[in-house]
Amino acid sequence: MPSGLRITSEMDVKLRPRQRPVPDVLVISAAAAADLSRTYYHPAEVRLAVEIVSDESAVRDRERKPQLYAAAGMPCFWRIENADGSPGTYAFDLDPATAGYVLTGIFHGRIKVSRPFPADIDLRLPRRRQ
């Protein structure tokens, strides 16, 4: 990860006065992360929002939250879902022409992307020793 970014989890992103969704994982600016007194981040400080879909959150994570994040100008969004017992990741980039997200890749086992920064992440769980 580039030195100017940090990873955090379950922190509010203030989109409007009474609208503060909480992504499961966030990649934010290091400057925003340095202020430990904060209770939320601004969309401009977020480089990537990640939602991990569960049965209870499916509609929010697939439909509502991506629309909110895109409208707020958050440049990248990943949605992680259970794909037959292993994580499947859908990566989206913000399209400035439509102000919506466009799918840039579907990954199983390993994520390889160039945005919001170059990343190669192995999602496979280690095999248990028997």
> What does the DSSP assignment read for 23-39?
-SEEEEEHHHHH-TT-S
Torsion-angle region of residue 45: left (phi > 0), alpha (psi -120 to 50) or beta?
Answer: alpha
pLDDT digit string, tens, across residues 2-59: 899 999 998 999 999 999 999 999 999 999 999 999 999 999 999 999 999 988 988 8
CA 73 remoteness from chain centre? 13
Residue 20 domain-assigned? yes
Residue 24 domain-assigned? yes
Residue 52's Cβ-count burial label (10 Å; 0-12, 13-18, 19+) is middle
Residues 49, 62, 89, 123, CA torsion sign = positive
For residue 80, the domain's CATH number is 3.90.1570.10
Residue 129 domain-assigned? no
Residue 127 domain-assigned? no
Q: What average pLDDT score do residues 64-81 get?
A: 96
Residue 47 domain-assigned? yes
In the Cβ-directed half-sphere of 12, how many Cα atoms lie within 13 Å?
A: 11
Range of the domain at 85: 5-122
pLDDT at 128: 62
CB 26 within 8 A of CB 11: yes
- How many domains does the structure of the chain reveal? 1
Residue 35 domain-assigned? yes
Reply yes or no on whether the pLDDT at 127 is more than 70: no
Residue 93 domain-assigned? yes
Residue 37 domain-assigned? yes
